[in-house]
């Protein structure tokens, strides 16, 4: 694919989490025995992606995540909590990877967030509040107050394109940092990013 539409920082750089899973390791993950029968059928016939690449095919892509820092007050006093909100599906997590962040230019496919900063803050606050409310054994639960900061980072995933059945393309996902299988929301977010990416290309071609 190769064309990138993400907003960049100084000198074309972005903040991102470095990948730790190699392409070879990812290929082994995707071709495990539980998938081998389905993928094995593909090697006997030549199918092409819209980009012209033959499937099955693997590539690494970088998804945008908003990093939102919120002020939280409890009986222990004020504090800060940082959460991540994926820029397409809105998937939420407590963010604890500050030390893993680096800055540089990405040479592989990466996508700008579709979600606005305001929406990301709203999702982050709501999901953090729900996380707090689910905790047990607290007489006084923390209160989420103002937003202290927001940024965008990029997170790596390996994507495997295959033909699930004749004429029907599908993808499988692996987290390129933890080597875990990508969740349904990660997959939905990536598919949304592909759709938005295609629309941008069409609009620029007109």
Asked if 116 contacts 7 with a C-beta cutoff of 8 angstroms, the reply is no
- Residue 100 CA to residue 43 CA, distance in Å, equals 38
pLDDT in tens, 7-22: 444 447 899 999 999 9
User: In this model, does residue 127 exceed pLDDT 80?
Assistant: yes
Query: Is 88 within 8 Å of 63 (Cβ atoms)?
Result: yes
pLDDT tier, 204 (very low <50, low <70, confident <90, very high otherwise): low
Q: Of residues 56 and 4, which shows the higher confidence score?
A: 56
Q: Evaluate whether 200 touches 118 at the Cβ level (below 8 Å).
A: no
Residue 88 and residue 110: Cα distance in Å, rounded?
Answer: 13
pTM for this model (two decimals):
0.81
List the domain boundaries for the chain: 10-205
Give Rg (Cα) of the chain: 19
Mean of the pLDDT values across residues 143-165? Answer: 92
Place of tokens 């800060």: 80
Q: Hey, what are 196's tokens?
A: 């938005």
The residue whose two tokens read 């006084």 is: 140
Backbone angles phi, psi at 185, to 5 degrees: -70, -35
pLDDT at 50: 58
User: Which of helix, strand or coil describes residue 196?
Assistant: helix
Count of other CB atoms within 10 angstroms of residue 189: 27
Determine what percent of the chain is predicted with pLDDT higher than 70. Answer: 79
Evaluate if residue 199 carries a pLDDT over 90. no
């Amino acid at each position: 694919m190769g064309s990138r539409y993400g907003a960049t920082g100084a000198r074309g750089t972005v903040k991102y989490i470095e990948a730790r899973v190699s392409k070879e390791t990812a290929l082994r993950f995707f071709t495990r025995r539980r998938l081998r029968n389905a993928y094995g059928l593909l090697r006997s016939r030549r199918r092409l992606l819209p980009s012209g690449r033959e499937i099955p095919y693997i590539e690494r892509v970088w998804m945008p995540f908003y990093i939102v820092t919120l002020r939280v007050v409890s009986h222990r006093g004020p504090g800060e909590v940082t959460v991540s909100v994926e820029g397409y599906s809105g998937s939420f997590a407590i963010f604890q990877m500050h030390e893993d962040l680096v800055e540089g230019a990405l040479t592989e496919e990466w996508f700008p967030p579709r979600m606005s900063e305001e929406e990301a803050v709203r999702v982050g606050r709501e999901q953090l509040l729900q996380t707090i409310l689910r905790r047990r054994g607290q007489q006084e639960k923390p209160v989420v107050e103002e937003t202290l900061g927001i940024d965008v980072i990029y997170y790596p995933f390996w994507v495997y394109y295959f033909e699930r059945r004749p004429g029907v393309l599908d993808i499988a996902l692996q987290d390129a940092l933890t080597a875990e299988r990508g969740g349904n929301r990660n997959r939905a977010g990536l598919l949304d990013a592909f759709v938005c990416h295609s629309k941008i290309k069409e609009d620029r071609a007109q």
